[in-house]
Amino acid sequence: MEKERQNKKPILEVHHVSIWFTRYDQGIRRSSLPVIRDLSLTVEPGEVVAVVGASGSGKSLLAHGILGILPYNSHMEGEILYGGEPLTKERAEKLRGNGLALIPQGVTYLDPLMKVGAQLTRGRKDEKTKERCRQVLEKYGLGPETADLYPFELSGGMARRVLIASAVMDEPRLIIADEPTPGLDARAAGRILGHFRELAETGAGMLFITHDLELALTIADRVVVFYAGETIEEARAEDFQDEGRLRHPFTRALFRAMPSHGFAPIRGSQPYPGTVSSGCPFAGQCEAGRKECGEADRIPVQRVRGGLVRCLYPEKEETV
Amino acid sequence: MRHRLLFTAKKLLRMGLLLLGVSIVTFLLMSASPLDPLQTNVGQAALGTMSQEQVERLEAYWGMDTPPLERYAGWLTDLLCGDMGTSLLYRQPVTSVIWQRLSSSLLLLLSAWVISGVLGLLLGVAAGVWRGRWPDKLIRGWCLLLSSSPAFWLAILLLLVFSVWLGWLPAGLSVPIGMESSLVTAGDRLRHAILPAVTLSITGVSNIALHTREKMVDVLESDYILFARARGESMGSIVWRHGLRGISLPAITLQFGSVSEIIGGSVLVEQVFSYPGLGQAAVTAGLGSDLPLLMGITLITSAIVFGGNLAADLLYGAVDPKIRRRAAK
């Protein structure tokens, strides 16, 4: 299985991407606020990659950056490849809704004044599109009458399924799900995640952005841990079975914070974007942190035990 | 449907109360007016040469010998019987004066209302779509400039440019001077209505455009527009399908709410262009202490403004799916 995956060409490659926000300080002084710094990840066909990070760590912007729909007051550097070729703004525009799909957070992402069907078909009125719309709704347990409902007539779970249906309208090769489960109970969330797994089984690559590590581990093949706009570790989901296999002190702390592993809180809080200009963003809270962790210009990414870690002194493998 | 009828009935009841209130306030204001009807309409010199008996007859004609409460009660009873009284200045029934004036104002009011609505909406949408870029800056600057210049001043300016300097359009009135009324063509009337209508619409445009722009910006920044883009909808399709839908409700409120501004503006604009419409009649009635006429005009215009708002409320029900679906149940 592992070998098979390696032979596949990644559907999405993100290399050293940074995203800045331009804002005005005290009226007229312009400043650039880095929200995502030096981010790299890959998604292969049939694979679910989870990006896990706390709120305010810049996760949603990553999704918008890949789709090329960042707000006008931001800019992006670095390289994104889709199917091996650079994903330029123009190419992203062509691919959106046609190979590249987003599953957003909730019902506010549906036009409140437009019927569900019209939003799924994007205004196309041919029989084929209508038929496809009925198909995808049915696939997620929604009857054809759903197309005639307005978003305010949907329940929370229905809205979530409508959003997934809208993402798979055109059989995308890459699906980015941005926090698709908040507000759902465990069973409903589980059902939604089951749909994601199914999508991956059909060969689509899946980038699953969430703040819920436990939830992510139930379906992800690989987990990318995000902290204050930086990727600090990329690990296989199996690595999370055992704290000793994790590489970064923050990931270990995150592991210990899970209810099933001691429920130990992480001390301190994530720094605001733009406040950390050098060194490791976790340096202030790290128990193993040394002087140079906060002073080093940039912490390089190292390959450790088959995963990636951005740490000067990655944790040793140990059996706990 | 029953829901809708009940809603309308409630609104109409409220309109009755509103009109009653408006008539009381108008009456009180007129009673408190420092203008002496006799001195204003007969003149100080003429009054001096009249006998006491003549003066008393005039006072009776202008209603000065009746106590205010009795006067108002009389007016109200007549009104409830369908009689709005006789204009003291025009010596015609108030209804016929209002009817004449309204029909000549209607062209003006309607065209200004439509032009300002359509133009305001278009400019607002354009500014919202190109927010922060030059079309937006241009439109916003233009709107701010217009909304800060008074309507009567703008009227004088247009009058100077288009009828005095360029001589393209007539300087005033609603028909050519000295022409027999049977010879006046529709074209003549139209030519005379252009300048006042343009003035009226220009001042209305900025308000509608600026509000539409704000709403459009809000809509375009919303989550569902982001998702529409993520689904691959083009900017044109987004503005057309989601943007216009999103601003439709506030646009209805603005459009029908602007009825009051158009009518208010027409008072000043008709004065500048000596246009014999309802606005001008209101000024004449107010300055000439023609109580029955002023009361009549106030009532009619209030009813029109209220009707505009009522129409907006009813249209809301037809456009907003939340209200529509609830009403259908």
Give the A window 46-75 contacts with B, CB below 8 Å: 64, 67, 69, 72
Q: Whole-angstrom Cα distance, residue B286 to residue B26?
A: 10
Distance from CA of B310 to the nearest CA of A (A): 22
Q: Whole-angstrom Cα distance, residue B236 to residue B209?
A: 20
The reply to whether A111 touches chain B by the CB within 8 Å rule is yes
Which one has a higher pLDDT value, B34 or B248? B248
The pLDDT, as a whole number, for residue A54 is: 78
CATH topology of domain B84-328: MetI-like fold (1.10.3720)
The reply to whether B245 touches chain A by the CB within 8 Å rule is yes
Structure tokens at A289: 């942190």
Judge whether A22 and A74 are in contact, CB under 8 Å.
yes
Contact list in A for residue B233 (CB cut-off 8 A) is 97, 122-123
Are B245 and A111 a contacting pair at CB < 8 A?
yes
The confidence band for A319, taking pLDDT boundaries of 50, 70 and 90, is low
At A301 the three-state DSSP class reads strand
pLDDT digit string, tens, across residues B5-37: 888 888 889 989 999 999 999 888 888 877 777
Which one has a higher pLDDT value, A256 or A183? A256
Widest Cα–Cα separation across chain B = 88
Contact list in B for residue A166 (CB cut-off 8 A) is 231
Contact list in A for residue B227 (CB cut-off 8 A) is 102, 104, 109-110
Q: What's the average model confidence in pLDDT over A222-235?
A: 86
Contact list in B for residue A115 (CB cut-off 8 A) is 321
Q: Whole-angstrom Cα distance, residue B146 to residue A310?
A: 59
The pLDDT, as a whole number, for residue A4 is: 47
Widest Cα–Cα separation across chain A = 66
Judge whether B317 and B323 are in contact, CB under 8 Å.
yes
The confidence band for A274, taking pLDDT boundaries of 50, 70 and 90, is low
Best of B130, B225, B231 to substitute, by most chain A Cβ atoms within 10 angstroms, is B231
The reply to whether B246 touches chain A by the CB within 8 Å rule is yes
The pLDDT, as a whole number, for residue A88 is: 85
Which long-range contacts does A107-110 make (Cβ < 8 Å, 24+ apart)?
A: A107/A151, A107/A154, A107/A156, A107/A159, A108/B222, A108/B223, A108/B224, A109/A163, A109/B223, A109/B224, A109/B226, A109/B227, A110/A151, A110/A159, A110/A162, A110/A163, A110/B224, A110/B227
Contact list in B for residue A113 (CB cut-off 8 A) is 245-246, 248, 320-321
Does the pLDDT value for residue A76 go beyond 80? yes
Task: Work out the end-to-end distance of chain A between its first and last CA atoms, rounded to an integer number of angstroms.
Answer: 28
Please give the residue of chain B at the shortest CA–CA distance from A150: B321
Please give the residue of chain B at the shortest CA–CA distance from A176: B230
Q: What's the average model confidence in pLDDT over A144-171?
A: 88
Q: Whole-angstrom Cα distance, residue A126 to residue A230?
A: 45
The reply to whether A89 touches chain B by the CB within 8 Å rule is no
Instruction: Domain A2-44+55-99+200-310: give its CATH architecture.
Output: 3-Layer(aba) Sandwich (3.40)
Sign of CA dihedral A177, A183, A189, A192: negative
- Domain range summary for chain B, segments of one domain joined by +: 84-328
Q: What is the pTM of this model?
A: 0.79
